[in-house]
Amino acid sequence: MSGVALITGGQQGIGLGIARALVSAGFRVALAAEREPDAPEVTAALSELGPRASYFTHDVRNVDAVPTLLDTVTAQLGPVTTLVSNAGVPARIRGDMLALSPENFDHVMDINLRGGFFLAQQVALRMLQAPPEPYRALIFITSVSAAMASVERAEYCISKAGAAMMTQLFALRLAGEGIGVFEIRPGIIATPMTAGVREAYGQRIAGGLVPAGRWGEPADVGAVAVPMATGQMAFATGAVVPVDGGLSLARL
C-alpha cells in the first residue's frame, strides 16, 4: 500500500500509535502539531518512525494556515490520501459544569471541533480533485465521551459528540465519491493525556470499569485505523468503531 497519511497530533499518544501502524502498512506519514520540530517528543517520534515520516508545525486552531500546510505536505510527500484527525485537548479544569468559563469552553472547541472540521474540509476538497487511486479516507478520532457523559468535563464531551456528527456528515457527503469516512472512539488509553489520572483510572479498571480488564494502548487504535485507511472497510463508510475494551457496552 502506498499513500500519504496526514496525522494531527501524530507525535505522541494515540496519534503516534496510528503513525506506527500506517508506516508498517507502507504509508508515508506527515505528523502535524503546534510544537517546534526540535521538541523532544517530535524528534523521538521521527527517530522511531524512520524515513517514511516527516513533521510539519501546524496549529489546528489556525484554519487560515491549512492551505499552506497542505501545499507543503503535497510538495514534500505527495497528495494526502488519508487524514487522521486526531489532535485534541482535554478540559483545562475538571469541575462543576455550572462553573465552566466561556474561555475554557472555546479553547476545547477550537481544537477538538472547529480546527478538525476546517482541516477535513480542505483535505476533502483536494481529494475530490485528485485521482481515485490510491484509496482515500478521513478518520476522526473522537472518544467514548461522544456518548458517555462526564459532567466534570462537559466541554470535552460536547466537542467529541460534535466530532461524531461531523464524521457522519462527511461520510454522507463523500460516499458517492469513493472516499471513506470513519470514526474511532477510544476509551481509556495510556497516553500523556491520561498520565495525570493513571492511578485513579487504574484502580477503577481493576474494579471492573473496563470489561477487558486493562488499559488500552495506542497500538490498539492503530490496528483499527489501518483497514480504514487501506480501503478494506470501504463499504462500511460512516462506521463508528469503539476501541475501549467494552467500556461503552450497556450493562446491568
Active-site residue (options: 55, 135, 156, 201): 156
User: 5-20: b or e for each residue (b if 16 or more CB lie within 10 Å)?
Assistant: bbbbbbbbbbbbbbbb
Cβ proximity of 228 and 179 under 8 Å: no
Cβ proximity of 180 and 233 under 8 Å: yes
pLDDT at 143: 97
Query: Comparing 198 with 123, which gets the higher pLDDT?
Result: 123
State pLDDT tens for residues 183-203: 999 999 998 877 777 888 888
For residue 218, pLDDT over 70 is answered with yes
- The cell for 52 is 517514511
For residue 157, pLDDT over 80 is answered with yes
pLDDT at 201: 84
State pLDDT tens for residues 146-156: 999 999 999 99
pLDDT at 1: 58
State pLDDT tens for residues 6-31: 999 999 999 999 999 999 999 999 99
pLDDT at 137: 98
Alpha carbon 9 to chain centroid distance?
8
Q: What's the pTM?
A: 0.95
Burial class from Cβ neighbours inside 10 Å (0-12, 13-18, 19+) for residue 173 reads middle
* pLDDT band, residue 54 (cuts 50/70/90): very high
* pLDDT band, residue 221 (cuts 50/70/90): very high
State pLDDT tens for residues 228-239: 999 999 999 999
State pLDDT tens for residues 72-92: 999 999 999 999 999 999 999
- The cell for 194 is 491520561
Pick from 79, 83, 20, 75: nearest CA to 53: 20
156: annotated active-site residue: yes
For residue 107, pLDDT over 90 is answered with yes
CA distances in angstroms from 79 to 2, 28, 83, 200, listed in the order given: 11, 11, 11, 43
Q: Where are the domains of the chain?
A: 1-88+107-145+217-237
Q: Using the 8-state DSSP alphabet, how is residue 112 labeled?
A: I
Please report, rounded to a whole number, the percentage of residues in the chain having pLDDT higher than 90. 92
What topology does CATH give the domain 1-88+107-145+217-237? Rossmann fold (3.40.50)
pLDDT at 192: 81
Q: Nearest 5 degrees, angle CA 102-CA 108-CA 110? A: 95
Mean per-residue pLDDT over the chain, rounded: 95
Please report, rounded to a whole number, the percentage of residues in the chain having pLDDT higher than 70. 100
